[in-house]
Amino acid sequence: MNRKYLGYLFEVAWILPSVAVPIAFLVAIVITAFAVGIAVPGDAGRVDPKALSTTAPFDKPGLRELAPGRYEAVVIAQLFNFSPGEIEIPAGSKVTFIVTSRDVIHGYKIEKSPINMMVIPGQISRMTTTFDTPGEYYIYCHEYCGAGHHLMVGKLIVKPAQTASTNR
Amino acid sequence: MATARVSGVSVTAERAEVGVFATEYRLTGLNMLIAFVALAIGGLFGVMQALQYNGIDLYKPISPILRGGYYQGLALHGVLNVLVFTTFFIIGWLTFVTSRSLGIPLASRALGWTTFGVMTGGLLIAALPLLLNNATVLFTFYPPLKADPLFYIGLTLVVVGTWLLLINQVMMLRQWRAANPAARIPLPAFMAIVTMTMWVICTFGVATEMIFLLIPWSLGLVQGTDPVLARTLFWFTGHPIVYFWLLPAYISWYNFVPQQAGGRLFSDPMARVSFILFLILSTPIGMHHQYTDPGISEIWKLIHAIFTFGVFFPSLLTFFNVVASLENGGRARGGKGWLVWVFNLPWRDPSFTTQTLAMILFAFGGAGGLINASYNINLVVHNTSWISGHFHLTVGTAVTLSFMGITYWLVPHLTGRKLWSPTMALVQAWTWFVGMGIFSHWMHMLGLLSMPRRTAIGAMRELHPEWEPLLPVIAVGAIIMFISAILYYLNMVLTITAGKKDTVPMVPFARAVSGPEDGPRVLDNFKPWLAIAFTLIVINYTPTLIRLVSEIQFIPGIRSW
């Protein structure tokens, strides 16, 4: 065969999978994000960081039980801690985290879970997930926020379902 | 091969050529000098960070000079390595490539010196607050962290200075076209101009952020700034900037490495197509750095994800074309079989080996990049040390190690002095490859264990028990790279000061198996591709930017370091 056409053949043999493979990945992403529900944070509205103490829900940061096994955690990130710093839930709970910042940009990442959000002053970050496995999980601020950034660590405690007390 | 051309006649011709380009060579050399001084200082902080992870604090002994400790060092590491080193090297390199490829000097040498002057002035202005711990905001300078205004003004000058090179290139292309009306633009010059065009388009984001948000705010003219709007403008530039770093390395992989491998470039049209796709697709994808941001809708994040997968395509074209060119070289040197030809490649040539090792690690960096781009999979790795591990493979190896490889032939060519020790250069290449392989792999693994990036791990109150056994490995990788860097700088300093005086010819531009005549002429016409690029940027950014501007919120600045 003519060398040039052999070259074209190789090119086509490479190009077809180069298009097909990324498309297959994309389809998988769209299915998991919109059918399975592993969603990324979206636009959840703005808030005035200077008026957090008078703006619901951030006037009362903490854990609230909305229904059996269904919680809402309102968290304020600030230099250099989270308020509340410790959250305790029974295993199997579905929790919506509603987080904002009082000052600069922070991060909110709970290890071994999909919760991973930027926390930006003026913005509300919101994500929901279910915690099935009992244990203690670190919550890290994963964006540089100043001299004490490395001290900004919280904790999520998932209690075995039977013994958990949600009455705190 | 380069050495084969050193006969009496060609040496004289080479000297005359060098004379014609004396100013260009001086500019290239000066830019690269600043670049590598920046890399030396920035790199030093890199190894200090890896030691800090393991409880060895070298910041205390230097605290009389740098008061800011770990985070000031981190700011210097980022700014010097990914902003200063890359930008200065690239402006020098593209000045060289454009003028040698078109065969004409800079259209305006005064403009060339102005480019250099504005960039260097900007660097000095930005360096002052950085060194005084008044700009410890890292290389992303996310507001409302508020740095000294000189930091923002200096960096803006560096960026604006780079734009002037494109003006020079466009004037040179006009001159060249007038003299060569029927010819195709030589591939190296074509690529250099596409790279600068892409860069000028995408830096409108960060320039807007600086001029309209950060500079007036840091000067106290406005009371606050909008962090999400600023981030969005930052990442408008912040993703394409990685192609601004990579494409100059690709220019070497496409136009010099095939020649150094003893073969030809596989396909010139395929190379042109991939660069045009980078021009079109690099910019309208920046929001994939903001998947976890509030204030941006999921739909626009998903659209940017789709286009990010699109830009993976020209990367795959580059992979194919460059490997096929290497195979062409290996076979020309007597290589056989499906893979055995690899052993026929010139592994004793330090410039070739350095760049080929950079390519090998880049394959892993590219695969990791696809994971980062994957919308919700990114939730596992976002802002963890996985990301630091990733970009040490890309900008830290594919780009940095390739640039080192380029200097192994270019510095001897520019200075007329032979490389001091090719053996030392080979050891340098392999130690970087091994050190970075170790460092980067375990940074990825620590990221999967949720270790946050940009964090003084050694100073945390409680160390995660799962991280502890892996942290010393990070230091081992960093120390191996540190040794590699010492070998590089020693070799370069000895080459410049004590290298044997000789005329070292330039590595000739590679010829192609399938030349430009096999591709349509429209590939050389920038207008349609620019129109598509602008259209995609407008579609992918306008709705979000209009909404963010209409909701603008003035958040006061804070100095929290």
**What CA–CA distance (Å, rounded) separates B476 from B455?**
19
Q: Give the number of domains in chain A.
A: 2
Residue B315 lies in a domain: yes
Looking at every residue in chain B, the average pLDDT score rounds to 95
Nearest to B108 by CA among B177, B156, B166: B166
Surface of A (34-93) touching B: CB under 8 A: 38-44, 46, 48-49, 79
Furthest CA-CA distance within chain A? 80
Query: Catalytic: which of B100, B239, B264, B417?
Result: B239
Return the residue in B555, B558, B559, B561 with the most chain A beta carbons within 10 A, the one to mutate for interface testing: B555
Q: Are B513 and B265 in contact (CB under 8 A)?
A: yes
Taking contacts as CB-CB distances below 8 angstroms, the residues of chain B near A118 are 290, 292-294, 383
User: Is B392 among the catalytic positions?
Assistant: yes
The answer to whether residues A4 and A57 belong to one domain is no
Query: Which among B312, B379, B553 is the nearest to A40, CB-wise?
Result: B379
**What CA–CA distance (Å, rounded) separates B82 from B138?**
11
**What CA–CA distance (Å, rounded) separates B69 from A146?**
12
Omega cis (within 30) before B139: no
What is the predicted pLDDT for the residue at B8?
Answer: 42
Please write the tens of the pLDDT for every residue from A67-91. Answer: 999 999 999 999 999 999 999 999 9
Residue A167 pLDDT level (bands cut at 50, 70, 90): very low
The answer to whether residues A105 and A62 belong to one domain is yes
Is the pLDDT score of B7 beyond 60? Answer: no
Whole-model pTM: value is: 0.95
Is the pLDDT score of B2 beyond 80? Answer: no
According to DSSP, residue B557 is labeled P
Query: Which among B297, B310, B453 is the nearest to A42, CB-wise?
Result: B297
Please write the tens of the pLDDT for every residue from A89-108. Answer: 999 999 999 999 999 999 99
Residue A79 lies in a domain: yes
Q: Give the number of domains in chain B.
A: 1
Residues B281-310: what's their mean pLDDT? Answer: 96
The answer to whether residues A5 and A74 belong to one domain is no
What is the predicted pLDDT for the residue at B12?
Answer: 58
| Structural domain harbouring B159 | 13-550
The answer to whether residues A76 and A34 belong to one domain is no
Taking contacts as CB-CB distances below 8 angstroms, the residues of chain B near A123 are 227-228, 293-295
What is the predicted pLDDT for the residue at A93?
Answer: 96
User: Is B454 among the catalytic positions?
Assistant: yes
φ, ψ of residue A74 to 5 degrees: the values are -100, 120
| Structural domain harbouring A13 | 1-38
Q: What does the block give as tokens for A74? A: 């309102």
Instruction: Count chain A–chain B contacts defined by CB atoms under 8 A.
Output: 183
Residues A50-59: what's their mean pLDDT? Answer: 94
Contact B142 A105 (CB under 8 A): yes
- In our burial notation (b when 16+ CB lie closer than 10 A, e otherwise), range B424-444 reads bbbbbbebbbebbbbbbbbbb
- Give residue B379's identity as a one-letter amino acid code: L
Residue A100 lies in a domain: yes
Residue B223 lies in a domain: yes
Contact B462 A153 (CB under 8 A): yes
What is the predicted pLDDT for the residue at A10?
Answer: 87
Residue A117 lies in a domain: yes
Please write the tens of the pLDDT for every residue from B267-288. Answer: 999 999 999 999 999 999 999 9
Q: Are B171 and B108 in contact (CB under 8 A)?
A: yes
**What CA–CA distance (Å, rounded) separates B559 from A146?**
8
Is the pLDDT score of B460 beyond 60? Answer: yes
What is the predicted pLDDT for the residue at B13?
Answer: 63
CATH number of the domain enclosing A69: 2.60.40.420
Alpha carbon B164 to its chain's center: 19
Please write the tens of the pLDDT for every residue from B325-372. Answer: 999 999 999 999 999 999 999 999 999 999 999 999 999 999 999 999
Is the pLDDT score of A166 beyond 70? Answer: no
The answer to whether residues A78 and A143 belong to one domain is yes
Query: Catalytic: which of B272, B289, B304, B392?
Result: B392
Return the residue in A8, A48, A55, A142 with the most chain B beta carbons within 10 A, the one to mutate for interface testing: A142
Residue B4 lies in a domain: no
Residue A5 pLDDT level (bands cut at 50, 70, 90): confident
Question: How many Å lie between the alpha carbon of B477 and the closest alpha carbon of chain A?
Answer: 23
Question: How many Å lie between the alpha carbon of A6 and the closest alpha carbon of chain B?
Answer: 12
Looking at every residue in chain A, the average pLDDT score rounds to 93
Please write the tens of the pLDDT for every residue from B145-200. Answer: 999 999 999 999 999 999 999 999 999 999 999 999 999 999 999 999 999 999 99
| Residue-by-residue DSSP string for B4-70 | GG-SHHHHHHHHHHHHHTHHHHHHHHHHHHHHHHHHHHHHHHHHHHHHHHTT---TTTTTTT-TTHH
Contact B379 A153 (CB under 8 A): no
A107 touches chain B (CB under 8 A): yes
Question: How many Å lie between the alpha carbon of A35 and the closest alpha carbon of chain B?
Answer: 12
Please write the tens of the pLDDT for every residue from A110-159. Answer: 999 999 999 999 999 999 999 999 999 999 999 999 999 999 999 999 99
The answer to whether residues A53 and A107 belong to one domain is yes
Residue B561 lies in a domain: no
φ, ψ of residue B53 to 5 degrees: the values are -55, -30
What is the predicted pLDDT for the residue at B6?
Answer: 39
Query: Catalytic: which of B139, B391, B403, B509?
Result: B391
Contact B380 A33 (CB under 8 A): no
CATH number of the domain enclosing B197: 1.20.210.10
ipTM: 0.93
Contact B450 A146 (CB under 8 A): no
The answer to whether residues A74 and A145 belong to one domain is yes
The answer to whether residues A34 and A60 belong to one domain is no
Residue A166 lies in a domain: no
Query: Catalytic: which of B77, B413, B444, B453?
Result: B453
Omega cis (within 30) before B144: yes
The answer to whether residues A73 and A122 belong to one domain is yes
